């Protein structure tokens, strides 16, 4: 072996060692970055931040809409009774989202709301963003049981105050519950044109809101869009929901 050959072999070995060291440094850096990301996730509660698959409307060729009412506890009893009465006059069967605590304190009012054709759903007032699946599962389970103990039934429909996350969607799926949101919102300062397939959500019920409910509902019915109860409005449980929050039949082309 000549001197030049030996020199080349030595140089090659040095290059290989340096390359291996660079590779190891890159692998170590990648590991540290992954560890930092995991640590940040754990500090934030280890929860899912993805958006929920909440249903805001349905894809349909029928001219129909459904109505929901979010009861936060700030409403006057007289205003909720007036809302139930006018919904009855229009043939609207709203779903009232209530907390178990509110339902427990307003048992007679709940009876009046359902007597007028309304249904009761579960309102989750605590934000669940950043919570782990275990924490969300525990919270929803407890709220479901409290709802059942108070009203004698488990809620079929759920509304989250924060809109919900992917984790909440997954947990509710395991319970066979629909997560709903607003397709359009009717409030004291909001009187939208209800579109076919919309879930029209009523919030902040007061005298001004009631006037807007009358106007929006009358306009929808006058335009040939009929109100329908939620149990007949939604598609079969588990039907897909698109990015815009529209539920559709699984055999429908997207």
Give the model confidence (pLDDT) of 63-94 as tens digits: 999 999 999 999 999 999 999 999 999 999 99
The token pair at 92 is: 């609207």
Phi/psi at 108 (5° precision): -65, -35
pLDDT tens-place string over residues 184-233: 999 999 999 999 999 999 999 999 999 999 999 999 999 999 999 999 99
Strand duo 64-70 + 95-98: pairing: parallel
Residue 75 covered by a domain: yes
User: Both 174 and 89 in a single domain?
Assistant: yes
The token pair at 64 is: 């129909």
Residue 254 covered by a domain: no
For the cut 90, the answer to whether the pLDDT of residue 23 exceeds it is: no
CATH number at residue 83: 3.20.20.370
Q: Which domain covers residue 28, as residue numbers?
A: 1-43
User: Both 111 and 13 in a single domain?
Assistant: no
Decide if 179 contacts 169 (C-beta within 8 A): yes
Residues 6+ apart with CB under 8 A from 21: none
User: Both 8 and 111 in a single domain?
Assistant: no
User: Both 70 and 141 in a single domain?
Assistant: yes
For the cut 90, the answer to whether the pLDDT of residue 34 exceeds it is: no
Residue 52 covered by a domain: no
Residue 49 covered by a domain: no
For the cut 50, the answer to whether the pLDDT of residue 40 exceeds it is: no
């Amino acid at each position: 072996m000549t001197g030049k050959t030996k020199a080349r072999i030595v140089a090659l070995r040095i290059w290989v060692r340096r390359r291996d060291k660079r590779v190891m440094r890159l692998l170590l850096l990648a590991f540290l970055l992954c560890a930092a990301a995991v640590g940040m996730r754990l500090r934030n509660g280890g929860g899912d931040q993805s958006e929920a698959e909440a249903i805001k409307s349905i894809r349909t060729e029928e001219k129909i809409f459904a109505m929901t009412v979010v009861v936060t506890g700030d409403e006057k009893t007289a205003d909720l009774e007036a809302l139930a009465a006018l919904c009855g006059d229009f043939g609207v069967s709203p779903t009232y989202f209530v907390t178990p605590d509110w339902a427990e304190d307003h048992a007679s009012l709940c009876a009046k709301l359902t007597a007028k054709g309304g249904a009761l759903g579960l309102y989750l007032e605590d934000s669940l963003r950043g919570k782990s699946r275990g924490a969300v599962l525990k919270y929803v389970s407890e709220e479901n049981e409290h709802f059942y103990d108070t009203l004698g039934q488990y809620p079929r429909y759920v509304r989250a105050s924060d809109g919900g996350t992917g984790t909440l969607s997954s947990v509710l799926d395991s319970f066979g519950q629909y997560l709903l949101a607003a397709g359009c919102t009717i409030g004291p300062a909001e009187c939208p044109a209800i579109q076919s397939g919309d879930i029209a959500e009523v919030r902040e019920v007061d005298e001004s809101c009631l006037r807007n409910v009358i106007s929006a509902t009358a306009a929808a019915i006058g335009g040939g869009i009929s109100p329908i109860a939620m149990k007949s409005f939604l598609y079969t449980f588990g039907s897909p929901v698109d990015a815009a929050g529209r539920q559709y039949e699984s055999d429908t082309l997207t």
